[in-house]
Every structure is written in structure tokens, then in C-alpha cells.
Amino acid sequence: MLKVSEILRVKGDVLYTISPDDSVENAIKTMSEHDIGSVVVIEHGELAGMLTFREIIRHIDSKKEQFAHSTVRSIMDSFPVSVTPNTELAEVQRLMLEQHARYVPVLDGPTLLGIISFYDMARALIDLEQFENNMLKAYIRHWPDDKEDT
């Protein structure tokens, strides 16, 4: 079964992080510049939370005035669902659907290894399906012929 570590290996190791005391305006700018839907909130070298467009939209809706001057800490998800590199794909799918999480941090103890997005999951499933399809086609093409045995 496919594991999170394999998805991270294909995805790469680029992470965009922000401090919980940064402004929401700075977080939005970072997300916009890099065309990403989330940033990892790091404090003292460890995962402190996640900030996604979901939290930003909720914050804008509740505090229409001066939202950009708020801190990331005031709106971030302080307890995001996370997985380990050995978590199987099926478990990640279940967690994402159950928790309505589009982005899931991958932790090895306190060390942040990366982020798995809903897009990454879909891509991995399509790639796995394509690989299995190619393997089956190759197997069928090389099917032993009964005539050769006689």
C-alpha cells in the first residue's frame, strides 16, 4: 500500500512557513505569491499550526474591518490533523474526509517533513492506478501461450 513518505518523495521538500506572530496580510501575500492554499505555522522550530484560505475567509467574514492587521496566531488552526511518513494512503484519505482537511502536515516526531494536500492525494492515486494499469497490460501482453508448452 502507498505511504505518505512516497508521496513526499515525489512531491519534493519545498515548504512555506510563517510565524504565528506574523500578520495575516503577510500570510496572504506569501500564499498569493507562491500560489499555495496553506502555510505552515512554525514556532520555536516546531509545528504550531496551519493557516489555510479557509481560516482566512472565516476571519474576513467575522472581522470585516482591519482583518489584515490581525496575527496569524489569532486565526490559525492550532491543532491540525497530522500524519507520519509511514501512514498509509487510505488512512490519510479517511482523516482528510473526516476532518474536512485539505492540507495535512507530515511529522516525524516533532520534525515537520512536509505537507500533503488533497491535490497530492488525488495525484498519487491516479499515478498508482496508471502504474497498476501498465503492469497489467504488460502481463497480459506476455501471457504464456499454451501452444509453446506442447
pLDDT at site 33: 95
Q: Mind listing the pLDDT tens digit for each residue in 67-121?
A: 667 888 988 999 999 999 999 988 999 999 999 999 999 999 999 999 999 888 8
Q: In 10 A of CB 43, how many CB atoms?
A: 14
**Prediction pTM value:** 0.70
Residue 90 makes CB contacts below 8 A (sequence gap 6+) with: 1
Residue 132 makes CB contacts below 8 A (sequence gap 6+) with: none
pLDDT at site 58: 84
CB 106 within 8 A of CB 115: yes
Residue in 39, 34, 32, 36 with CA at minimum distance from that of residue 16: 39
* 91's grid cell: 488512512
Residue 18 above 90 pLDDT? yes
| Helix (H), strand (E) at residue 124 | helix 118-141
- CA dist 29 and 23 (Å) reads 10
CATH 3.30.2090.10 fits 4-142, yes or no: no
pLDDT at site 87: 94
pLDDT at site 67: 65
Q: Mind listing the pLDDT tens digit for each residue in 46-71?
A: 999 999 988 888 888 776 666 667 88
pLDDT at site 71: 87
* Three-state SS at 145: coil
Q: Mind listing the pLDDT tens digit for each residue in 19-32?
A: 999 999 899 999 99
Place of cell 508448452: 149
Residue 149 above 60 pLDDT? no
Domain boundaries, the chain: 4-142
